[in-house]
A = this chain, B = another copy of it.
Amino acid sequence: MVGKMKAYREMTKQELEQEVVALKAEYKKFQDMELSLNMARGKPCMEQLDLSMGMMDALYSGADLSCEDGTDCRNYGVLTGIREAKELIGAMMENKPENIIIYGNSSLNVMYDTVSRAYTHGVMGSTPWCRLPRVRFLCPVPGYDRHFAITEYFGIDMIPVPMTPEGPNMDLVEQLVANDDTIKGIWCVPKYSNPQGYSYSDDTVRRFARLKPAARDFRIFWDNAYGIHHLYDDNQDYLIEILEECRKAGNPDMVYKFASTSKITFPGSGIAAIATSRNNLEDIETQLSRQTIGHDKVNQLRHVRFFKDLEGMKAHMRKHADVIRPKFEAIEETLEANLDGLGIGEWTKPKGGYFISFDSMEGCAKRIVDRAKKAGVTMTGAGATWPYGKDPHDSNIRIAPTYPPLDDIRLAAQLFTVCVRLVSAEKLLEEVKEAC
A interface residues with partner B (beta carbon < 8 Å)? 41, 43-44, 46, 49, 52-54, 56-57, 59-63, 65, 72-77, 104-106, 108-109, 112-113, 116, 119-121, 128, 130-131, 146, 149-150, 153-154, 262, 266-269, 287, 289-299
Residues of B within 8 A of A291 (CB): 108-109, 112-113, 150
Question: A296 near B105 (CB under 8 angstroms)?
Answer: yes
Question: A268 near B295 (CB under 8 angstroms)?
Answer: yes
- Would A267 and B104 be within 8 Å (CB), given that A56-B59, A61-B57, A290-B149 are in contact? no
Further pairs besides A57-B61, A104-B105, A130-B130: 20, Cβ < 8 Å: A46-B72, A49-B72, A49-B75, A60-B60, A74-B266, A74-B268, A76-B268, A106-B292, A108-B293, A109-B291, A109-B292, A112-B292, A116-B120, A120-B120, A130-B131, A153-B290, A268-B295, A268-B297, A269-B296, A269-B299
**Chain B nearest CB, measured from A336 CB (Å):** 30
Number of copies: 2
Complex Cα distance A121/B74, Å?
35
Complex Cα distance A72/B269, Å?
12
Q: CB < 8 Å: which of B41, B113, B296 contacts A268?
A: B296
Question: B75 near A266 (CB under 8 angstroms)?
Answer: yes
Complex Cα distance A370/B63, Å?
39
**Chain B nearest CB, measured from A58 CB (Å):** 9
**Chain B nearest CB, measured from A225 CB (Å):** 12
Residues of B within 8 A of A63 (CB): 56
Residues of B within 8 A of A287 (CB): 153
**Chain B nearest CB, measured from A323 CB (Å):** 14
Residues of B within 8 A of A268 (CB): 73-77, 293-298
Residues of B within 8 A of A113 (CB): 291
Residues of B within 8 A of A266 (CB): 74-75, 298
Complex Cα distance A104/B61, Å?
22
**Chain B nearest CB, measured from A259 CB (Å):** 16
**Chain B nearest CB, measured from A144 CB (Å):** 12
Complex Cα distance A296/B76, Å?
18
Residues of B within 8 A of A262 (CB): 76
Q: Which of A43, A61, A75, A116 has the most CB of B within 10 A?
A: A75
Residues of B within 8 A of A120 (CB): 116, 119-120, 130, 154
Chain B residue nearest in CB terms to A153: B290
Chain B residue nearest in CB terms to A44: B75
Residues of B within 8 A of A74 (CB): 49, 52, 266-269
Question: A61 near B72 (CB under 8 angstroms)?
Answer: no
Question: A267 near B76 (CB under 8 angstroms)?
Answer: yes
Complex Cα distance A218/B178, Å?
43
Chain B residue nearest in CB terms to A42: B76
- Would A60 and B56 be within 8 Å (CB), given that A290-B149, A290-B153, A296-B296 are in contact? yes
